[in-house]
Amino acid sequence: MSGSPAERAILRSLDTHIGEACGVFGVYAPGHPVADLTYLGLYALQHRGQESAGIAVSDGETITVVKDMGLVAQVFDERRLAPLQGHLAIGHVRYSTTGCSSWRNAQPLYRSVAEAGFALGHNGNLTNTAALADDLGMLPGMGVVGDAGDSTTDSDLVAELLAREYAEHPRSDGRDLEVALERVLPRLAGAFSFVLMDEAHLIGVRDPHGFRPLVLGRTEGGFVVASETAALDIVGAHHVRDVEPGEMIVIDASGVRSRRFGDPSPRLCLFEFVYFARPDSELYGQSVHAARQRMGEELARQAPVAADMVMPVPESGIPAAQGFARASGIPYGDGLVKNRYVGRTFIQPSQSLRGRGVRLKLNPLVENIRGKRLVVVDDSIVRGTTTRQVVAMLREAGATEVHFRVSSPPYRWPCFYGMDTGRRSELLAADMSVGEIRGFLGVDSLAYLELDRLLAATGAGPGSFCTACLSGDYPVPVPEIDSKHVLEAEPAARA
Q: What is the pLDDT of residues 387-440, one digit of tens each?
A: 999 999 999 999 999 999 999 999 999 999 988 766 888 899 999 999 999 999
Report the first-to-last Cα separation within the chain, whole angstroms: 27
- The predicted pLDDT at position 15 comes to 45
pLDDT of residue 171: 87
The pair phi, psi for residue 53, each rounded to 5°, is -145, 145
Q: How far apart are CA 89 and CA 105, in angstroms?
A: 19
Position 58, amino acid? S
463 — pLDDT class (breaks 50, 70, 90): confident
Q: Are 80 and 91 in contact, with CB atoms under 8 Å apart? A: no
Looking at the structure, do residues 244 and 337 belong to the same domain, yes or no?
no
Say what the pLDDT of residue 492 is.
31
- pLDDT of 168-207, one tens digit each? 988 888 899 999 999 999 999 999 999 999 999 999 999 9
The CATH number of residue 453's host domain is 3.40.50.2020
Is 22 a catalytic site residue? Answer: yes
Dihedral angle computed from the Cα positions of residues 343, 344, 347 and 349, in that order, rounded to the nearest 10 degrees: -20
Q: Which residue among 267, 300, 326 closes a domain?
A: 267
Catalytic, out of 22, 269, 466, 469: 22
Residue 470 domain-assigned (yes or no): no
Q: Is residue 416 part of a domain?
A: yes
Same domain, 321 and 404: yes
Domain that holds residue 233: 5-267
Residue 31 pLDDT level (bands cut at 50, 70, 90): very high
Q: What is the pLDDT of residue 420?
A: 72
Q: Give the contacts of 400 (CB within 8 A, at least 6 positions apart).
A: 371, 372, 373
Same domain, 180 and 329: no
Read off the pLDDT of residues 363-374 as tens digits, 9 standing for 90 and up. 999 999 999 999
> Is the pLDDT score of 7 beyond 60?
no
Q: What is the pLDDT of residues 338-371, one digit of tens each?
A: 987 665 434 444 444 545 667 788 999 999 999 9
Instruction: Give the mean model confidence (pLDDT) for residues 43-53.
Output: 94
pLDDT score, position 483: 46
Query: How many structural domains are present in the chain?
Result: 2
Pairing of strands 401-406, 445-448: parallel
**pLDDT score, position 153:** 84
**Cβ atoms < 10 Å from Cβ of 425:** 8
398 and 446 co-located in one domain: yes
Please report the pLDDT score of residue 219 as a whole number. Answer: 96
| 477 domain residue, yes or no | no
**What pLDDT, on the 0 to 100 scale, is given for residue 493?**
30
Closest CA to 380 of 419, 341, 326: 419
pLDDT at 335 over 90: yes
Considering the domain architecture, whether residues 232 and 313 belong to the same structural domain is answered as no
Q: Quick check: is 491 in a domain? A: no
CATH number of the domain enclosing 260? 3.60.20.10
- pLDDT(38) > 90: yes
> Residue 484, Cα to own-chain centre: how many angstroms?
15
